[in-house]
Amino acid sequence: MTARIGVVAFPGTLDDRDTQRAVRVAGAEAVPLWHRDKDLKQVDAVVLPGGFSYGDYLRAGAISRFSPVMESVIEQAKAGMPVLGICNGFQVLTESHLLPGAMLRNNHLHFICREQKLRVETDRTAWTADYTAGQEIQIPLKNIDGQYTADERTLDMLEAEGRVAFRYLDGNPNGSLRDIAGITNEAGNVVGLMPHPEHAVEPLVGTGRTDGLGFFTSILKKLVNA
Amino acid sequence: MTLDTVKHAAETPDVKLPWAELGLKEDEYARVREILGRRPTGAELAMYSVMWSEHCSYKSSKVHLRQFGEKAPDNDAMLVGIGENAGVVDVGNGYAVTFKVESHNHPSYVEPYQGAATGVGGIVRDIIAMGARPVAVVDPLRMGAADHPDTKRVLPGVVAGIGGYGNCLGLPNIGGELVFDACYQGNPLVNAGAIGVMRHEDIHLAKASGPGNKVILYGARTGGDGIGGASILASETFDDTKPSKRPAVQVGDPFQEKLLIECTLEAFAEKLVVGIQDLGAAGLSCATSELASNGSGGMRVELDDVPLRDSTLTPEEILMSESQERMCAVVEPEKVERFLAICEKWDVIATVVGEVTDGDRLEIFWHGEKIVDLDPRTVAHDGPVYERPYARPKWQDALQADDANKLARPASSKELREQVLAVVASPNQASKAWVTDQYDRFVQGNTVLAQPEDSGMVRIDEETGLGVALANDGNGRYSKLDPYAGAQLALSEAYRNVAATGAKPLAVSDCLNFGSPEDPDVMWQFAETTRGLADACQILGTPVTGGNVSLYNQTGEAAIHPTPVVSVLGVIDDVARRTPIAFAEEGQLLYLLGDTSEEFGGSAWSQVVHDHLGGLPPKVDLERERLLAEILISGSRDGMIDAAHDLSDGGLAQAVAESCLRGGKGARLVVPDGLDAFTLLFSESAGRAVVSVPRSEELRFTDMCGARGLPATRIGVVDGDAVELQGEFTLPLTEIREAYEGTLPGLFA
């Protein structure tokens, strides 16, 4: 048996097809989910992919957070269903308060697209079990609103609880506090990050590396072994 | 004010209309009156003025562009040619690819962000109007001097606009060009290209057929932006004495366009669309008249039904508005409901605004009164055609006599070394990462190659690895020296760049950027360019499938260099076989392919070291280009070469620097017999490439070159962490990298 992983499309979502491909490359079944539909079609996990949902109007992720599909995602995430938010999906997760903090415009004010080195800080989440803590990976980064921010107390709490999941290495690309590239919730089922693992799953395209595949194999193993 | 109806126009022949303000010439207005047999209504005048503008009608260029059809080589791949929204070529396995490059020059100077953004939007709508899913964009740019203060206004705005729009559409930006030259100071060139992919059976055309079929306008509401964009902005030179043209620039909403793409593709997939046209230059005037003119019947449009952003717009303004993100579809009555449902799913406003009639007239109504009644062909296709006078400029001989080969050459190894660094660090040769890092090159997950590779390449079929490559090139300096040769060199370089990645060149799109056609010097440049390009396309077997002409890139007397930007599309059976530029394997042998002679006219060296433009551009040898391409493609397919880089501006010095930096490995080079170090490094002879050959393949590779008659000279080996030219100098990669990567951030960050 394999796992069913839902990939949500909002109006303006861009990386849904890439994410579906990454899910398939890992060996799972990708299930497209539509923003107007509350029905999660019995998926075992959900990915909120990157893009500019609702044109990023108001604030990135601010409108998507109120879509019908998110009502179900929020409810299920709280009940323990694994949820991964990539880039715009991470922004939706902070807007939904499933993860703390917020994203500001990059400190240099430009869109930035590059291959980014990261350190995986924890292997104790649903999406990082196939990595080892401290492992360095390189995957694409591409955004304009990627500067992670939170108050000092929240940051200290994230550090103390081991909830900083990924940190930028070799140069902070956007001014994110404490070089944070991604975080997890307390239970480890909800993970959000700005860089794009789904663009690094095949040797031929993108960066030519497959460092991002671990996200999708991690969740598949977890679900199949569950 | 009384509504200027058709009836009213017939009754009041002497009413004065503002035809000159709308950009029409006196004889053109007389012709409109003759066609209609009366004076036009205000609405009709609006339509003729925009559709007969240079930008829309190609009235000055048409007589020259005909050569692209007349001289077109036989090519089985061509599915749709010139005249449609974009050309379509067969790339095998049932796939077809459509691609095109267009200009958005004038708006981008007036308002860089929106001008450039809507340039991307327009070309992408052309691609979806053919029935294709867009898969990549490219952006060839020409800017004024890199250190000019106004370039700091224009370039960052243009780059942010291209990125802001393209990134939000989810289209990888896989290539482009950025060239600085003072001649573009008041007339920067912002060309935008796009590639789309479809199955053969999905090709759609812009025509309205079948009486009773409904005309549906969908996408954004119509506003007052971009009125006269095609006529008074894009078809005139800039002049300080005229009022600001900012209101003629459109404002883009990429989010709306993304919805438009998805909604249109879904309607295509359900076979709901008979004909389709995007609304770009000349807005509704263009879409209605072209759809009706291309179809078999007439068309009736109720202008009151057009959804408006501003309820005070007049019918003339509605017809002329260039509000972005709008499309017009012709749909059979029984399919209208389903079409509207798909639009609703994507939150796209869609409205039936008219229907196809069985007559041959385009009739437009406003408040129940007929305000337009004309033969759509007269608007869309039978516009004026000018045989503009042209003559070889008086200064051309003196320019060509000012031989760059006589310029002072470096007197010592130290000076040679310094000049290599100076060329690599010059704004035109330096790394463009500051620009390309603002564009998403990864989205869609099919990008195989992107800048700074020789061409962009995307996979289009995951099963087989089928892919397409696209390169854009054009050297205005070469074209200034000899526009006939310059056009052929532009084609040669793009063709070579595609082959260098292992793809087979198939077809061409061009964006021809020139000064004022009313200047006989400029018109001669244009005539020579089109003749050169058409002749070369014939020899290389790559037909022109479509393109765009941008004239009036001129401020006062100062025209830009003639700048044909030529795009070549290629196909590769399996992207796993692609050849990158990176020298990545130590010990591999470097071979210089082709002949190198002393050719410095228009070269990067002559510009950087001597600020000189004179002499003749490199010789064109199209048979050699074809042979070189065959070798590069065979070498790639059979695993004989691991890296290849074409030689063009900056010569071998530039190519080796880029390939070494890309792979993070150095190179030890020797000057081959019969050449001197300077010529080896800086000559820009065409028909050349440098390749990296695994030692195990050397014999097979040199045998192949020998058998086919392509000169292949061993010039060195990939090794170490410096570029060393034996007996001359050593340049550590760190020093080259600093020179190459520091320039643009230093100027614009």
- Partner A, chain B 247-306, Cβ-Cβ below 8 Å: 253-256, 258-259
Contact A204 B576 (CB under 8 A): yes
Span A13-38, average pLDDT: 96
* Two tokens, residue B680: 């080896």
Contacts of B347 in chain A (CB under 8 A): 11
Contact B255 A207 (CB under 8 A): no
- Partner A, chain B 478-517, Cβ-Cβ below 8 Å: none
Contacts of B436 in chain A (CB under 8 A): 113
Best of B113, B438, B440 to mutate (most A CBs within 10 Å, chain A) = B440
Cβ neighbours of residue B539 closer than 8 Å, sequence gap 6 or more = B73, B622, B623, B626
Contact B445 A12 (CB under 8 A): no
A75 is catalytic: no
Contact B255 A18 (CB under 8 A): no
Span B50-56, average pLDDT: 89
- The reply to whether B169 touches chain A by the CB within 8 Å rule is yes
B52–chain A nearest CA distance, Å: 36
Of all residues in chain B, the percent with pLDDT exceeding 90 is: 82
pLDDT tens digits, B171-217: 999 999 999 999 999 999 999 999 999 999 888 877 778 899 999 99
B635 near B445, Cβ under 8 Å? no
For residue B248, pLDDT beyond 70 = no
For residue B1, pLDDT beyond 80 = no
The Cα B292–Cα B375 span in angstroms is 9
Contact A11 B347 (CB under 8 A): yes
What's the pTM value of the predicted model, to 2 decimals?
Answer: 0.94
What number of residues does chain A have? 226
Q: What count of other Cβ atoms lies within 10 Å of the Cβ of residue B311? A: 5
A141 near A113, Cβ under 8 Å? yes
Q: How many domains is chain A built from?
A: 1
pLDDT tens digits, B260-283: 999 999 999 999 999 999 898 888
Q: Which of B163, B255, B447 sits opposite A12 (nearest CB)?
A: B255
- Distance of CA B223 to CAs B220, B229, B311, Å? 9, 13, 9
The Cα B186–Cα B238 span in angstroms is 8
pLDDT in the model for residue B476: 98
Nearest alpha-carbon partner for B624 in B702, B692, B536: B536
- The reply to whether B667 touches chain A by the CB within 8 Å rule is no
Pick the residue from chain A with its C-alpha nearest to B170: A14
Q: How confident is the model at residue B230 (pLDDT cuts 50, 70, 90)?
A: low
CATH number of the domain where residue A145 is located: 3.40.50.880
pLDDT in the model for residue B297: 83
Contacts of B169 in chain A (CB under 8 A): 14
Contacts of B438 in chain A (CB under 8 A): 110-113
The helix/strand/coil state of B442 is coil
Contact B447 A18 (CB under 8 A): no
Beta bridge partners of A120: A166
For residue B239, pLDDT beyond 80 = no
The Cα B376–Cα A46 span in angstroms is 53
Cβ neighbours of residue A117 closer than 8 Å, sequence gap 6 or more = A136, A137, A138, A168, A169, A170
Best of A109, A113, A139, A202 to mutate (most B CBs within 10 Å, chain B) = A113
A113 is catalytic: no
The Cα B490–Cα B615 span in angstroms is 18
Pick the residue from chain B with its C-alpha nearest to A108: B749
Contacts of B170 in chain A (CB under 8 A): 14-15, 51
pLDDT in the model for residue B604: 98
Q: What is the average pLDDT score of chain B?
A: 93
Pick the residue from chain B with its C-alpha nearest to A10: B346
Pick the residue from chain A with its C-alpha nearest to B437: A113
Q: How many CB pairs (< 8 A) connect A and B?
A: 89
∠ CA B1-B243-B53 to the nearest 5 degrees?
75
Best of A10, A18, A54, A111 to mutate (most B CBs within 10 Å, chain B) = A111
Q: Which residue has 């010990």 as its token pair?
A: B587
A18–chain B nearest CA distance, Å: 6
Contact A15 B447 (CB under 8 A): no
Of these residues, A35, A87, A95, A199, which one is catalytic? A87
Q: Which of A15, A113, A205 sits opposite B446 (nearest CB)?
A: A205
For residue B244, pLDDT beyond 70 = no
pLDDT in the model for residue A123: 96
Contacts of A56 in chain B (CB under 8 A): 168, 255
* Two tokens, residue B349: 């406003």
Interface list for chain A against chain B, based on CB atoms closer than 8 Å:
11-12, 14-15, 17-18, 21-22, 51-52, 54-57, 108, 110-114, 140, 142, 144, 196, 198-199, 201-202, 204-207
pLDDT in the model for residue A1: 61
Contact A142 B258 (CB under 8 A): no
For residue A226, pLDDT beyond 80 = no
For residue B249, pLDDT beyond 80 = no
- The reply to whether B406 touches chain A by the CB within 8 Å rule is no
Contact B448 A205 (CB under 8 A): yes
pLDDT in the model for residue B73: 87
Span B509-516, average pLDDT: 96
pLDDT tens digits, A56-89: 888 888 899 999 999 999 999 999 999 999 999 9
A198 is catalytic: yes
Which is more confidently placed, B55 or B487?
B487
Q: How confident is the model at residue A14 (pLDDT cuts 50, 70, 90)?
A: very high
Span B378-389, average pLDDT: 92
Q: Torsion over CA of A69, B135, B269 and B545, rounded to 10 degrees?
A: 160
Q: Torsion over CA of A139, A144, A145 and A147, rounded to 10 degrees?
A: 60
∠ CA B719-B725-B728 to the nearest 5 degrees?
145
The Cα B457–Cα B438 span in angstroms is 19
Beta bridge partners of B565: B511
Span B402-419, average pLDDT: 97
Bridge-based pairing state of the strands B558-559 and B554-555: antiparallel
Q: Which of A21, A52, A108 sits opposite B255 (nearest CB)?
A: A52
A122–chain B nearest CA distance, Å: 26
∠ CA B232-B236-B238 to the nearest 5 degrees?
105
pLDDT in the model for residue B54: 87
Locate the DSSP E strands across chain A: 4-9, 29-34, 45-48, 83-86, 102-104, 112-120, 136-143, 147-149, 164-168, 180-184, 190-193
For residue B305, pLDDT beyond 80 = yes
pLDDT in the model for residue B81: 75
Q: How confident is the model at residue B221 (pLDDT cuts 50, 70, 90)?
A: very high
Contact A12 B168 (CB under 8 A): yes
pLDDT in the model for residue B228: 67
For residue A199, pLDDT beyond 70 = yes
Q: Range with the lowest mean pLDDT among A99-103, A136-140, B224-228?
A: B224-228
Strand order in the sheet with B722-725: B643-646, B689-693, B589-593, B712-718, B667-669, B722-725, B729-732
Contact B255 A21 (CB under 8 A): no
Contacts of A15 in chain B (CB under 8 A): 170, 443, 445
Q: What is the average pLDDT score of chain A?
A: 95
Range of the domain at A123: 4-225
Which is more confidently placed, B239 or B47?
B47
pLDDT tens digits, B2-17: 789 999 999 999 999 9
Please report the sign of the dihedral spanned by the C-alpha atoms of residue B720, residue B725, residue B730, residue B734. negative
Contacts of A22 in chain B (CB under 8 A): 445
Contacts of B642 in chain A (CB under 8 A): none
